[in-house]
Amino acid sequence: MIQADDLIKIYKTRTGKRIAVNGISFHVKEGEFFSFLGPNGAGKTTTIGMMVALLSPTSGRIKIDNLDVTKYPHEVRQRIGIIFQDPSLDDRLTAWENLEFHGRLYGIPGPARKKRSEFLMEVMGLSERRHDLVRTFSGGMKRRLEIVRGLVHAPRLLILDEPTLGLDPHSRRNVWEYIHTVRKEVGMTVFLTTHYLEEADGSDRVAIINQGKIVALDSPERLKKSLGPEVLILKVQDKEAFRKYLLDCYPSITEAIREEEGGLLSFPMPQERAESPWEFLRSLPFPILEASIRRPNLDDVFIRYTGQGLADGRQGNNSGGDQ
Amino acid sequence: MTEKVMDQWSLVLPSTQPPLADRMTRDLGGIYTLWLRDVIRLWRDRIRLVGSFIQPLLFLFILGGGLSPRLGALGGARGGQALGYQDFLFPGIVGMSVLFTASFAGVAIVWDREVGFLKEVLVAPLSRTAVVIGKILGGATNSVVQGSLILALMPLFHLHPHFGQIAGAFLVMILIGLTQTSVGILLGVRMTSSQGFMVLMNFIILPLFFLSGALYPLDRLPSWLSLASRLDPMTYGVDLLRHALTGIHYFSVATDLLTLGGFLLVISFLSVHLFNKTD
């Protein structure tokens, strides 16, 4: 469904050049749920811009449904439903008018437009509010309306660019329930960008993207397995000495050592050691004050491949970061 | 979820997607859709129409009413009987009303960018040329409606033109509306802040209005002012309006139409060109 080959996008800025996307290649199969996981400014939104022909690649090629995006922008756009990172509804129009506008722009004939809008609004629980101005909607309702709108022209590929950004946890869960329902019923290809690890966890494959490059690409399970079966979280007296000891003895985990709250250090079980974690702990020449073990999650994977936490990007959340 | 709802998922399966219409059909549909949106919004904000009705009234009744007793009759340079100042002023204020409304129609495209709605339009399968044309038509409609409200005051100003003249006045209002909306869109195409747009537009709009001859006759101006007036596209619009409504005019209809029409073509072409090149 998506074939991207060696995509590069360089922006000219006042001070010179900025490489937003630096040689990205990936293929997404029909019906696959594919995620881009990375911090703000990693190049996620720029890649989407090239997929929908809003931006032209500096070099490289991207095909959607076997159509070259640069050569057939309109044919490609008709196959795509997109939910943008930032709201993109006309809040002076009613929900229904927004859907009508969209359906007309995509050339959907009146009766089909009407039936689909009515049905999708009912599924998303918006029927009651259909003739209300969008400005009276909550953030979660707006997102749901945008999902409805993205589906009105029956796209083959649904692009979700940070679909739950700025929503409270309840609305996030709610929006995801609806997205999963749609996926189950329609079985369309979904391309998601996110910096929430738990959202990427549900996808078939994840590409971890950092500074314009894909640094890892596999199923979430395999990515997690690549770290080994366990992550150790320890508290020791002399943290720095302990860290140095780990770096010296176990170079394989250099990138993955991480400081957690409360002065804890976490790292995957070194692959140089074959015995059980408990034996490994007992062999350490340091007194251990606290220890716990958990399965690796995508956060660990992300740190392993990029050397930084996703949280770093989440903190300074300037929404214009990766436009 | 009810059975009925479950069944209807087939409505949105990708296989139900109709084939893409040809380019022309898509673009015409898109232009109509964009225009329709502006009309719906205009109707929804109709209270604003009343608000912008006040300013022209101040010009007509206070400025016009105040100057009129001192000025006596103003004659046309070519044809037309002499008129009281208020009656002379009236077509100019109709033009002003269209000019002001149309200028700020261009801010709509900046607003759309600010609130993110522009992206929804840009990822739709229609050309950017169609987007610009749709916006120009929407803005022009808005300004012509505004101008018509002033035009409806005609009987108060000793003007009783026949139907043909009123139709002519409408055509001129449309032409002024299209031209000035294009100017607004040309400025708005690259702008990201509506405040910046407003400031810039205020710089442009007053010279355009004052030089246009809406407030005074053009036949005995100092030469520098006469030259500046001739460079103002609005001059030809106001001249046409006054010609249609009162018979007074300073340029021939052909000169007016060619200048204004030519200006419209150049500006709208530039807007389309610039918009096509914007990422």
For chain A, list the domains and their CATH numbers. 2-223 (3.40.50.300), 228-295 (3.30.70)
Q: Single out the residue of A239, A244, A234 nearest to residue A288, CA to CA.
A: A234
Nearest to A86 among B9, B40, B116 (CB): B116
- What residue ranges do the domains of chain B occupy? 21-276
Give the sign of the dihedral formed by CA A244, CA A250, CA A253, CA A254.
positive
Tens-digit pLDDT profile for residues A161-214: 988 887 888 888 888 888 888 888 888 899 999 888 888 888 999 999 988 999
- The answer to whether A5 and A168 have CB atoms below 8 angstroms apart is no
User: Which class for B166: exposed (0-12), middle (13-18), buried (19 or more C-beta within 10 A)?
Assistant: middle
Asked if A54 and B122 come within 8 Å (Cβ–Cβ), the reply is yes
**What pLDDT does A171 receive?**
83
DSSP A125: T
CA distance B26 to A77: 13
Where on the phi/psi map is residue B79: left (φ > 0), alpha (ψ -120 to 50), or beta? left
The SS3 call for residue A27 is strand
Both ends of chain B: CA-CA distance in Å?
43
CA distance B251 to B259: 11
Find which of B12, B27, B117 to mutate to test the A interface (most A CBs within 10 Å of its CB): B12
Which of the residues in chain A have pLDDT under 50?
Answer: 312-323
**What pLDDT does A39 receive?**
83
**What pLDDT does B12 receive?**
74
CA distance A121 to A125: 6
Using a CB–CB cutoff of 8 Å, tell me whether A156 touches chain B: yes
**What pLDDT does A314 receive?**
39
**What pLDDT does A319 receive?**
36
Which of the residues in chain B have pLDDT under 70?
Answer: 1-7, 75-82, 279
User: Which class for B224: exposed (0-12), middle (13-18), buried (19 or more C-beta within 10 A)?
Assistant: exposed
Tens-digit pLDDT profile for residues A55-80: 889 999 999 999 999 999 999 999 99
The SS3 call for residue A161 is strand
pTM attached to this predicted model: 0.84
The SS3 call for residue A70 is coil
**What pLDDT does B5 receive?**
53
**What pLDDT does A146 receive?**
93
Asked if A78 and B125 come within 8 Å (Cβ–Cβ), the reply is yes
Find which of A79, A97, A106 to mutate to test the B interface (most B CBs within 10 Å of its CB): A106
